[in-house]
Amino acid sequence: MRLVLDGVAVTIEGAPIVREAGLVVEPGTFAALVGPNGCGKSTLLRAVYRALRPAAGLISLDEEDLRKLTHRETARRIAVVAQESPADLDFTVDDVVLMGRTPHKRPLSRTTGDDLRRCAEALERVSLSGLANRSFVTLSGGEKQRVLIARALAQESRLLLLDEPTNHLDIRHQLDVLHLVRDLGLTTLAALHDLNHAAEFADRVYVMDTGRIVADELTPEVIARVFGVRAVPRTQFAFERLKEET
Amino acid sequence: MTVVDTASAQVSGGFRRKSTFGLVLGLLAAAVVVSTWLAVSIGAVPVGLAECWGIVADRLFPGSVAVTWTPVQEQIVWDFRLPRALLALLVGAGLSVVGAVLQALVRNPLADPFLLGISSGASLGAVAVFVLGASTLGGLSLSAAAFGGALLGMVLVYVLAQRGGRLTPARLVLAGVALHFLFQAIYSYILQQAQSGRAAQQVLFWLLGSLGGARWEMLPIPAVVLGAGVTYLLIQHRPLNALAAGEDTATSLGVNVGAFRLQLFVLTSLLVGVMVATSGAIAFVGLMVPHAARLLVGADHRRVLPVSALLGAAFLQLVDIAARTVDAPQELALTIVTAVFGAPFFLWLLRRRA
pLDDT at B74: 92
Say yes or no to pLDDT of A89 above 60: yes
Question: Average model confidence (pLDDT) for chain B?
Answer: 87
Q: pLDDT for B159-198, tens place per residue?
A: 888 876 667 767 888 899 999 999 999 988 888 887 666 6
pLDDT at B12: 45
Q: Which of A169-178, B162-171, B314-323 has the lowest mean pLDDT?
A: B162-171
Residue A110 in contact with partner chain B when CB distance is under 8 A: yes
Of A101, A108, A120, the CB nearest to B235: A108
Query: In percent, how much of chain A has pLDDT > 90?
Result: 78
Average pLDDT over residues B81-110: 94
Please choose, from the candidates A1, A39, A66, the residue with its C-alpha nearest in 3D space to the C-alpha of residue A209.
Answer: A39
Average pLDDT over residues A194-205: 93
The residue ranking higher by pLDDT, B270 or B164, is B270
Q: What confidence category does residue A19 fall into, taking pLDDT thresholds of 50, 70 and 90? A: very high
The residue ranking higher by pLDDT, A71 or B109, is A71
CATH of domain B86-353: 1.10.3470.10
Of A70, A88, A129, the CB nearest to B109: A88
Structural element, H or E, at residue B27 = helix B21-41
The residue ranking higher by pLDDT, B8 or B116, is B116
Q: How many CB atoms lie within 10 A of CB B331?
A: 16
Say yes or no to pLDDT of A43 above 90: yes
User: Does the beta-carbon distance from A99 to B13 stay under 8 Å?
Assistant: no
pLDDT at B6: 42
- Is residue A129 within 8 A of residue B13, CB to CB? The reply is yes
Chain A partners within 8 Å of B8 (Cβ)? 111-113, 115-116
pLDDT at B134: 57
Residues β-bridged to residue A8 = A21
Average pLDDT over residues A56-73: 95
Instruction: Give residue A44's identity as a one-letter amino acid code.
Output: L
Say yes or no to pLDDT of B327 above 80: yes
How close is the nearest chain A Cα to the Cα of B255, in Å?
6
Which residue in chain A has the smallest CA separation from B353?
A88
Which residues of B fall below an 8 Å CB-CB distance to A? 4-5, 7-8, 10-17, 103-104, 107-109, 235-236, 238-239, 241-242, 244-249, 251-256, 294, 298-300
Q: Which of residues 20-79 of A touch B (CB under 8 A)?
A: 46, 49-51, 70-76, 78-79
Structural element, H or E, at residue A204 = strand A204-209
Question: Average model confidence (pLDDT) for chain A?
Answer: 92
Residue A157 in contact with partner chain B when CB distance is under 8 A: no
- What pTM, to 2 d.p., does this model score? 0.90
Chain B partners within 8 Å of A137 (Cβ)? none
Domain extents in chain A: 1-77+159-246, 84-156
Chain B partners within 8 Å of A91 (Cβ)? 241, 244-245, 298-300
pLDDT at A235: 57
Cα(B240)–Cα(B231) distance, integer angstroms? 13
Say yes or no to pLDDT of B5 above 60: no
The residue ranking higher by pLDDT, B265 or A87, is B265
Q: Which of residues 78-97 of A touch B (CB under 8 A)?
A: 78-80, 82, 84-86, 88-92, 94-96
Average pLDDT over residues A97-123: 93
Q: Which residues, other chains included, contact A78 with Cβ-Cβ below 8 Å and sequence gap of 6+?
A: A48, A49, A61, A157, A159, A160, A161, B252
Average pLDDT over residues B284-299: 93
Please name the fold of domain A1-77+159-246. Answer: Rossmann fold (3.40.50)
Say yes or no to pLDDT of B153 above 50: yes
Q: Which of A148-157, A190-199, B127-136 has the lowest mean pLDDT?
A: B127-136
pLDDT at B8: 43
Instruction: Give residue B9's identity as a one-letter amino acid code.
Output: A
The residue ranking higher by pLDDT, B193 or A34, is A34
Cα(A143)–Cα(A171) distance, integer angstroms? 14
Q: Which of A51-60, B13-22, B88-97 has the lowest mean pLDDT?
A: B13-22
Q: What confidence category does residue B2 fall into, taking pLDDT thresholds of 50, 70 and 90? A: very low
Q: Please, what sign has the CA dihedral across residues B288, B293, B295, B296?
A: positive
Please choose, from the candidates B30, B142, B150, the residue with its C-alpha nearest in 3D space to the C-alpha of residue B95.
Answer: B150
User: Does the beta-carbon distance from A94 to B7 stay under 8 Å?
Assistant: no
How close is the nearest chain B Cα to the Cα of A190, in Å?
15
User: Does the beta-carbon distance from B17 to A94 stay under 8 Å?
Assistant: yes
pLDDT at B80: 94
Please choose, from the candidates A112, A94, A83, A88, the residue with its C-alpha nearest in 3D space to the C-alpha of residue A151.
Answer: A94
Query: In percent, how much of chain B has pLDDT > 70?
Result: 89
Q: What is the 3-state secondary structure of A54-66?
A: CCEEEEEECCEEH
